[in-house]
Amino acid sequence: MRKILVAVLALVLTLSMGSVAFADFAPVNKEDLKVGVVYIGDVSDKGYTYAHHQGILAMQEALGLTDDQIIIKRNVTEDAACETALRELVEQGCQVIFGCSFGYMDYMAELAEEYPEVIFSHCSGYKSNETNFNNYFGRIYEARYLAGIAAGLKTETNHLGYVAAMSLPEVNYSMDAYFMGAKSVNPDVTMTVKYTNTWYDPTLERQAADALLDLGCDVIAQHQDTAMPVIAAEEKGVWACGYNADMTEDAPKAHLVAPIWNWGVYYTEAVQQVIDGTWKPENVLLGMQEGLCALSPISENCAEGTKEKIAEVEEQILSGEFGVFEGPITDNEGNVQVAEGVTLTPEEILQVNWLCEGITVG
């Protein structure tokens, strides 16, 4: 879900493609449809791949597709294995292929040129064309902010910890949103982040969480693919906010709440468009208002008043009254990044690669 190239994202990740004349795809008889999916992990990770797979299953049920119409490639690394998987899906007759990790982008771009009759849809990247290749993602920072409120109200040490994949815009603006949510209800809070430099590695995720717990962090959040950070928090007797899917089951005594993805919102719409012959290579960015991003149920581990405060701010986000990145915002090097009276647009937020004042890289 992945890395965003700052220099070009504002030009390519848009909600509308203006007056560009797109190529038309013929309708596909539903019984003849085959949908290809490429996952970086396994559906059992209880996090990132699990969330995508739940979205694919929701799409399958909503559209009435059979199991043999959904062809899935699991545990595909972001290298030549991706090209192999994509070619196999083309050869198996897939009319549309979803690639669910950032590192698949270049391979999908190349094969889209080679197979213009096949639709390639890529999660989180910045490349696309005007024929058969688009990207899709969501305003997850909205749900991150709400999760931060839960953390800020729960912490007793005022020291939050964050296990982060990589120092990239997608990770860093999400982290900022979470921290700003915490700080909105607890001005004294600080946060230490540790980068693992990998999207999926249960061992490294656990080690980073343990290191943060050893520093005295009593609420752990994450931008990683598995539930290991929340499990580490439970074993330490403190608290955690998961990611991608509700992780309460994995750490019932520790989990507070999680920003989650309802990928079925996009997959169902996109595949229906393929069936109808109305699919266009438009880049998609949806949020809580459209139902793509959400917050998991607030657990009983949360502090008193958490549910009410989150409901209040969520209503402001959904109505457009509150935009999360509202100035003034200063980064952790003392620079004013968002001036007072200014609110960043979604496209501007997706370029944020600085960390808020109060966040330290450990």
Q: Calculate helix-pair angle for 202-214, 228-236, nearest 10 degrees.
A: 40
Mean pLDDT value of segment 145-152: 98
Q: What is the pLDDT of residue 23?
A: 60
**pLDDT tens, 85-122?**
999 999 999 999 999 998 999 999 999 999 999 999 99
Contacts of 204 (CB under 8 A, 6+ apart): 196, 198
**pLDDT tens, 58-83?**
999 999 999 999 999 999 999 999 99
Contacts of 319 (CB under 8 A, 6+ apart): none
Q: What is the pLDDT of residue 120?
A: 98
pLDDT of 4 over the 60 cut = no
CA proximity to 47, closest of 284, 268, 259, 301: 259
Q: What is the pLDDT of residue 126?
A: 87
Q: What is the pLDDT of residue 16?
A: 38
pLDDT of 196 over the 90 cut = yes
- What span, in angstroms and rounded, lies between the C-alpha atoms of 175 and 60? 33
Q: What is the pLDDT of residue 8?
A: 33
Contacts of 127 (CB under 8 A, 6+ apart): 12, 105, 106, 108, 109, 133, 135
pLDDT of 10 over the 70 cut = no
Mean pLDDT value of segment 204-229: 97
pLDDT of 161 over the 80 cut = yes
Mean residue pLDDT of the chain comes to: 93
Q: Calculate helix-pair angle for 264-276, 48-63, nearest 10 degrees.
A: 40
> Lowest-confidence range among 154-158, 294-298, 349-353?
349-353
Residue type, 15: L
Could you tell me which residue, 206 or 15, shows the higher pLDDT?
A: 206
